[in-house]
Amino acid sequence: MSVARLSVDGSSFDPKRSRMEVRQALNFLGEDKVRTLQPYDDALVVTLKIGGYDVKRVLVDQGSGTEIMYPDLFKGLKLRFEDLTCSDSPLIGFDEKIIFPKGQIRLPIQIRTKVIKVNFIVVDAYSPYTAIVARPWLHACT
């Protein structure tokens, strides 16, 4: 007698036939800890391939709902204001000041062999980061 079990979402589940999805873990080497305080609780700042270029100082911010691009990256990628589409929703910066975007641009971010198109809101504000990637990007990666 075969017994079908229901999973949390209501679909049938057979433990004998189920396979566990194995995902590669994100690991850091000892050299990645150089110039950091341990235990490590600083912001996650990474290098990503954006628009075909390796871009350093990209902040991964799980608390943000949108991807942001700052002037250094905009200029470094040799983008033009004519490349932007309209983005008229004001943002609140880390310093709680209102920032009006210059526009929005869609660019590819490559993670290993996967390429994800991301909408960046371009702002003219100072930041120690070149860009911020947020929840939408994180969810698209998985």
Q: What are 78-115's pLDDT values in tens digits?
A: 999 999 999 888 888 777 888 899 999 999 999 878 89
- Output the domain CATH number for residue 119: 2.40.70.10
Number of domains in the chain: 1
- Which residue carries 């983008």 as its tokens? 79
116 and 108 in contact (C-beta within 8 Å)?
yes
Inside any domain, residue 78: yes
CB under 8 Å to 60, separation ≥6 — which residues?
43, 44, 45, 46, 132, 133, 134, 138
> Exposure pattern of 93-113 as b/e (b: 16+ CB <10 Å)?
eeeeeeeebbbbbebebeeee
Inside any domain, residue 25: no
Q: How confident is the model at residue 18 (pLDDT cuts 50, 70, 90)?
A: low
Inside any domain, residue 120: yes
- Which residue carries 């700052």 as its tokens? 70
Inside any domain, residue 122: yes
Q: List the domain range (segments joined by +) for residue 63.
A: 43-141
Inside any domain, residue 65: yes
Q: Whole-model pTM?
A: 0.68
Inside any domain, residue 20: no
